[in-house]
Structures are given as C-alpha cells and as structure tokens.
Structure 1
Amino acid sequence: MLVLLLYASVLRPGGGTDRADTSGVAAERWLVASREAFDAARYEDALQPTIELTRAFPNQQVYAEWLASIYQHLSRPADEAAAWERVVAISPTPVDACPALPDAYVRAAGHSDKSLAAFERCSAFEPNNTDMLFYLGRARERAGRTDLAEAAYRQAIGIDRNHNDSRLGLARLDLRAGRVEEAGHSAAAVLELYPNHTDALLVAGISAQRLGRLDDARRHLERAVGLAERDVDIHIALGILDFSEAHVADARRHFERAVQLEPARRAEVAVWLERTRSGR
C-alpha cells in the first residue's frame, strides 16, 4: 500500500512538481482530505480530492497509483484499470502497474481480452521477470491458450528452475490433459517445501478428488480456503467437491462466493449454480 506521507515531498515548492495553476494550499487540502477519508475507510469521500490531485499533478505517478487503490476499494475495476493505464503512461518503470493493471481488467466485466493483452504488455516490460511470465502463463491458461501458457511457464522455469508458481502452472495443464497423477506429484513436491502454498493445495485437492481420494481432497481444499478465502478457484473446487458429495447447500454457497468475488467469471460458474438449484 502506498504511504501517503510521501506525498508531502511532491507538494513542496521546488520539489520538481508538475503542478498546473494550482496553489500548494489547495493541493495540501486535497491531500489531507484524501488521506483522512482513506484511513477511515470512507473511500467515496477520498475519491474526489484524489481525482483533483491527479488533475493538478498529471505526471505524478504516486497520485495515479493512489487513485487506482481507491477505485479498487470501491469495486470499480474499469476505473481502476484506467488509473493503472495512466501509471503505465507516465512511469519510467511501467512494470510498477503490474500485475494490478491486468488483474483489474480480469475483474471488469467484458474486458477479458484487455486483460490478456495487459499481461502480454507486463511481460514485455521485463522479459526475464519470472513472476510476470507466470502471470502471463496463467492468463493464457484461463483464455484456453494452453500451448502458449506452457511456453510461458517453461520460460520462467528456464530462468529459475525452482519457480514453484510456474511448476504448478504446468501441473494445472497436466490436470487439463488428464495427467492427474503427474499433477498430484508436482503439487506434493511443492507442499513438502511450502505446506501453506495455496496453489499447490488447490492442485493437490483437485488431483485427489479426480483420483477418488475425497478425504484427501477435502483436507487440501479446506486448508487452502482457510489460507486464501478470496481465491475464486478454491471456492469453485470446493463447490464441485461438495456437490459431488451431495452437500448441495454448501456447494451453492461456494459458487455464489466465487461470483461475488469475481463477477466477470459468472458464466464459468453458471452451470454449477443451475445444478445446485435443480439438484442434478
């Protein structure tokens, strides 16, 4: 999270600002209003003074980032993405907007194409950044472009052979291809080193379920959701597991939570929501 106290140096005369015809007094007033409202979780009240700051200081990255964070708290992902696009435009290191920019597009309904393109851009900003390669692989995976996803994961592992997120990306691709045991082995190897790795727990849980080891599946997935309650994929996996064991009400609760967390994925969950209504 940004530290608003850093803004003070931006506002001081002679601090290299790009202020337009705006007095330091007005800017200080907007700064204080934004900071106090944000600290009190009054994000609507923080919005307008922060917008004023971005208008008065259009080339100050810190204000654009702060505006993006406010939009995130207000659950306005399209506006959040626009703020991050501003960061990309003005920052000497545009990778600063990543992965927040494409993640905002993921949450903005109707912007899945922009999300994938943004992940491509983020990876291009730092071609040898293994985390950016992983995010790109995951975006390609979600878009169904599994061959390109595999290429990104393997490129990251080529840079860092112990890049566990990318190793688990390949494990998910194994799951898609029906190589369930291989996926489970990959997840188990990561969990030996990092027992709280939520992606590894997710892959281990799905693998165990598909192999008929339902107790193991529930153990992994319930541990995962306890560690990362806002992870949509974990809720979907738990919903499917609950439905398979005729826990229809619990299944529906997980699917509804998934949609609440990420409305853009409603279509993906719709068939399961319908099945929980019909019971079939």
Structure 2
Amino acid sequence: MRRRRLALCLLPWACTSDPTPPASKEAKASNEPAPVAAPTVPEAPSFAEHVAPLVYEHCTPCHHEGGSAPFAFESYDDVRDHAQQIAEVTRSGFMPPWLPAPGSGEFVGARRLSEVQRGTLARWVEQGAVAGELAQAPKPPPPATGWQLGEPDLVLRTGEPFMLPADGGDVYRNFVIPVPRDPPLRFVKAVEIRPGDPKVVHHGVLRVDLTGGVRLEDAEDPAPGFDGMVFAGAGMPDGRFLGWTPGKRPDPGSDARSFRLFGGSDLVLQLHLRPSGKVEPVTAEIGLHFSSRPPTMPALSMELSSGEIDLPPGATDVHVRDQYTVPTNVAVRSVYPHAHYLGKRIEAWAALPDGSKRSLVTIDDWDFDWQDEYRFVRPVRLPAGSTIHMDWSFDNSAHNPHNPSAPPRHVTYGSSSTDEMAELILEVEPDDPRSLPALDEDFRRHWLRGQLALQQRAVQQHPDDADAHANLGAFHQLLGQGQAAIAAYEQALRLDPDHVQANVELGIVMMGEGKLPRAVALLRRAAEVEPTNARTHLVLANALRKQGDDDGAIASYLEALALDEASAEAHNNLGIVLEQRGELPEAARHFQRASELQPHQPLFGKNLARVRSKLGGAPG
C-alpha cells in the first residue's frame, strides 16, 4: 500500500546547511572583530522569539490562505495545531521537499534546514510549544501577490478552463497557447508560470512547438488541451528548461541567455494535476519578459535516457544507465532527473579526461512527487572529452512505499506513470557558441543510436510485429542507414502489406533513390488504406510532382489541405507547382498561407517575395 503523504511543505528560500565551526580559543583579544559564536539550539525556545521567524521565512510562503499547501501557518494557533507533525517531518528529512543529497551539487534555492533549525523546532515541541510574548512576535509575511518578476511584457493564458474530475488518478494535461503572429520574432529572457489553483497543480513544464503538431492533438480532444506525458513534438525553446513547482522562484534570466519566440508558434504548458475531491476548473497564465537583443550564450538540451527497463515483481535494485562524451567544452547549467514511482536512486556525474570525477546530482531517496529541475549556483564546466554518466536504480518490491501496485506487477519502459522511465535532462552551453550545431548533431546521433538499439531488441522479442519492424526502419532512416531501413520496411510489409507507416516511409526512401514508380505505388497503397491521413496525401503529391505529374500532384495537395488546412508544407509545395504553371496569384495565396502558419520558416517568405515580384509587387 502506498504511503500516505503528510500534507506539509516547508520551503525555505535560503538557509544555512550547517552551523559555522566554533571560533578558535586562541583568537587574540585585540582590535580584531570579536568572533561570532556558532548558532546553537535555544534552551527554551518560544514561538514568538524563535519559531515564528523560522516558520514565517521558510514555511508561510506556501502555507498561506490560497497557497499551494493545504493549510496556513500565519499565526501561533496555526503552527501549534501542527507542531508535532512539523517536528516529525523536519527531523526525518521528509520536509523540506528537497531531493538532492548534501554535497552532490550547489543549487539555486536549495531547500534545507540546518541542524540548529531542526533542533529548535524539535525542542520547542518537546517543551510544549510555548507561545512566548505573542505581542512581540513578528508579523507573518503578506502572501506574494502579482508577478514575482514584475509586470510581464506579454501575458498569455490557457483560455477556457479544463474541468479536473473530482476523483481518479493523476492527470497530465497539455494546454496549447498560440503565440501572437506579430512581431514575427522576439527574444524571451524570463518566463513566469502562474497556475490558477496551485492546490491541484503538482508541477508544470513549458515547451514550444514550431510544427503545428500540438494543434492537431488539441483539436482531437473535445476538452481544452489534451492528455499525456509526451509533448507531441514540442521541445525546450533553444535548449532552455522552463517549469513551475510550488514555492520555486522563477529564474530572472538574462539577455545573454534569452531564447527565440516565433510569432505564430505554440506554447505547450503541461500541468500535472491531482483531483481534490471536487470538480476543479484549471487555468494558468504565462508571463513573458523580453530582451531587446538576440542571445549570445545559446544552449542545448541533452536527454540521457534508457529504455532498457525491465522490473520483475519483487526486484529491489535494478540499474539502467546511459553515458555521453561531449566533443567540445561545455558548461552544465541545470539538471532535471525524471523517473516514475519505482525510481529508487539516481547518481549523475562527469568523468573528466584527467581522471577526476565531478558530481552533477545524487538523489538517494527518489520521490516522484517532488521531482524538480536543479539549477547550479555556478555552472559545472566540463572540458571536451568528458563523459557524462547517468545511473538509475529501481525498486519494484512491496517494501517500496511509493509502489502504486499491490502486489507489485511486472513493469517495463513506457510513458504512463504506472510504467517507468529513466531520464536525465541537462541544459548545457558550449563555451564556443559556434560549436552548438555540431554538438547538437553529435548528441542527436547518440540519442538515435540508443533508440535504434531499443527497437532492435523489440524486433528480437516480437519478430512477427510489423510495427516493430517499421519503427526499426524509421531509426535506420534517421541515421542515414538507407539499406538497413529498406530491409526493415520490406519486412514490415511482408508481415502486413497494408501497413501505412511502412508504405509511406519506404516510399520516401524510394523517392530519395530516384525510384519514383515504386514510390508512387507504395504511397497510393497507403492512401487507399487510410484515405484520411493528410501526411500520406502530402508525400504522394511530392512524389507525383517529382514524376512530372502536376495535375496529380495538385489534386493530392488539395486533398491533403482538405484534411489539414494548417499544413504549411502542403501550401508551400502546392504554391511551387502553381508557380511553375504560371498561376501566380493562386501560388502567392498559398505561399502567403504557408508564411502565416510558420513565419519562422524563411523559405516560405522567400517564395512569397519571389512570386510577388513576378506579379509586380501585388499582394496576390
């Protein structure tokens, strides 16, 4: 049975991790400043003198009326009513909710109480929670209202509320928020996320989508947003991690570390929601602070991960690992470990070329409920040739208090919270910004090789599964391994001649090799099997255009747009065919629409400008 959580949240903004050492007895009695005595636990602590300042600083920012915590700590009576609980959770280390082990990294906003602070709380409770002179107690801080970073330059909202059911399991809801089209490009140096009701929002993560894919996901779900833990192709904007957890101060950022925000793109805010016992409307606001200039310190997000997760019931210490060697000098800005309920421990470190080891993060007692991003006070600098290691261990036994299954069941890799994942997301900056594209490509291939190995094992385990062979072909294709991709797709089609993915992807490979008749035949088969698939009609149109069949290409492009009017690629490619046929006004209309849908794509704008020039500058 899963351990019931104590509803208490001590969130210090800054506290000493250890008392200072005693001053030397040999200190000279001269004009030197008198040594400062090390802090000690008071002999007779009172609320007014000792506990109120501690609680108001470290607890009340969340424990206030309307805050994310379930009850307030704004008076002596509030704190006294929970005194025993406070002493227990702070003594055990369960609170404050801070997972990294001491010494594993120096992080911004570390939520730790010192031994003296914990001892003060414990002694106060042991001695009967004495009030003291309440008239002399400090006043509780007013709850933070408004935007913590000041008034944003732009506020975007999730729109119509999502109605969270009264009960049931956790919900991961993705809200799609369109970015205004004008201006076409801005630079964002800071983001502040404000959930409408922090009591039901466990945490939030923000991504950006440039493809329009999340709009399709949103359109298929009748309620606001769509469910799931994956982001439908959206990613971290220019490698920057953006998220919200209760009590966490937003990063003020800087002009140098800003990221690009394209007009017409979509923000995707994923909120982890927990039912409260009654139906709750869920909304959120996003405040954007702009920079007046482009960034000078670009970043890349790296995701070490492993799909080799196989946790039989009763297993107590199963390890999965990944590692990556950086080809250039980098600085690690932050780390974000991620696993689900069976995660037990993570250790991440870098092995440097000189043989030394540098810790990135260690969590000895993983807790899915308190996962967070950890931003270094000082970036961890790694020279080229350093190898970043990730080592996760899992506990699928009945002794794991977080295990959601009783009795334990067999668990493997998957995106559901009852499956398991093993990830470490790093935000890194290359010392030389010019090396970012090469670093991005090198890590992309590392990730693809890991996915390829995962698919090869899936094929070995399920040799008669056409999906497994088609997915294997996709990763061979992405790695540029054409013949291996063809073999995998051909095997998928032997198992299932109507497999749409295999027909479409093999058709693309055949187009690349100039085998257009075969490509067209494969793509026609896919369109017959699944006539409502807009992408199939788009790829078929591309093949027909290459084959010189303009009429067939135009018909297929129009079919693709009838199914997905927001396909910028279909509008652009149709415009190309129409331009070649001399139908310039109609070509300009489709180029215009492509530019509106994806204003960050310069090719669409160039095509539009070219046709307008031919038309004598008319808008078309």
TM-score band w.r.t. shorter chain = 0.5 to 0.7
SS at match of 1:141: helix
After superposition, the C-alpha distances for 1:117-151 in whole angstroms (9 at most, x for unaligned) are 46426525633454354345345435544233223
Q: How many residues align?
A: 231
* Cα distance change of structure 1 residues 67 and 169 upon mapping to structure 2, 3 Å threshold: closer
* Cα distance change of structure 1 residues 150 and 17 upon mapping to structure 2, 3 Å threshold: farther
After superposition, the C-alpha distances for 1:94-136 in whole angstroms (9 at most, x for unaligned) are 2437xxxxxxxxxxx9575466346426525633454354345
1:50 aligns with 2:389: no
Partner of 1:39: 162
Structure 1's unaligned 5+ residue stretches are 1-13, 53-64, 98-108
After superposition, the C-alpha distances for 1:54-113 in whole angstroms (9 at most, x for unaligned) are xxxxxxxxxxx856559957347998x79998358959332437xxxxxxxxxxx95754
| Paired letter, 1:277 | A
1:274 aligns with 2:598: no
Deviation at 1:258, TM superposition (A): 6.5
* Cα distance change of structure 1 residues 146 and 251 upon mapping to structure 2, 3 Å threshold: farther
Contact kept? 1:68, 1:83, Cα under 8 Å: no
Partner of 2:455: 123
Contact kept? 1:31, 1:50, Cα under 8 Å: no
Partner of 1:154: 490
Contact kept? 2:588, 2:608, Cα under 8 Å: yes
Q: CA RMSD in A?
A: 5.0
Structure 1 CA distance for aligned equivalents of residues 566 and 447 of structure 2:
19
Structure 1 CA distance for aligned equivalents of residues 506 and 469 of structure 2:
13
Of the candidates 241, 244, 252, which is equivalent to residue 591 of structure 2?
252
Q: Which moved more, 1:83-92 or 1:150-159?
A: 83-92
Deviation at 1:228, TM superposition (A): 3.2
| Paired letter, 2:515 | R
Structure 1 CA distance for aligned equivalents of residues 514 and 507 of structure 2:
11
Contact kept? 1:130, 1:160, Cα under 8 Å: yes
| Paired letter, 2:203 | I
Which structure dedicates a bigger proportion of its chain to helix? 1
Contact kept? 1:137, 1:150, Cα under 8 Å: yes
Identity %, equivalent residues: 15
Q: How does 1:91-106 map to 2 (within 5 A)?
A: 92-96=411-415
After superposition, the C-alpha distances for 1:1-51 in whole angstroms (9 at most, x for unaligned) are xxxxxxxxxxxxx4x2585x5559x9xx9699xxx9961759854497332
SS at match of 2:203: helix
Question: TM-score scaled by structure 1?
Answer: 0.57
Structure 1 CA distance for aligned equivalents of residues 69 and 493 of structure 2:
44
Contact kept? 1:224, 1:234, Cα under 8 Å: yes
Question: TM-score scaled by structure 2?
Answer: 0.30
SS at match of 1:126: helix
SS at match of 1:182: helix
* Cα distance change of structure 1 residues 148 and 96 upon mapping to structure 2, 3 Å threshold: farther
Contact kept? 1:238, 1:251, Cα under 8 Å: yes
Of the candidates 86, 90, 98, which is equivalent to residue 338 of structure 2?
86
Deviation at 1:212, TM superposition (A): 2.8
- Bigger radius of gyration: 2
* Cα distance change of structure 1 residues 243 and 76 upon mapping to structure 2, 3 Å threshold: farther
Which gives a bigger RCO, structure 1 or 2 (Cα 8 Å, sep 6+)?
A: 2
Contact kept? 2:7, 2:69, Cα under 8 Å: no
1:210 aligns with 2:546: yes
Partner of 1:74: 267
* Cα distance change of structure 1 residues 158 and 211 upon mapping to structure 2, 3 Å threshold: closer
SS at match of 1:51: strand
Structure 2's unaligned 5+ residue stretches are 10-61, 71-158, 164-174, 178-192, 205-226, 235-265, 271-299, 307-336, 344-393, 395-410, 417-436, 615-620
Structure 2 CA distance for aligned equivalents of residues 177 and 148 of structure 1:
14
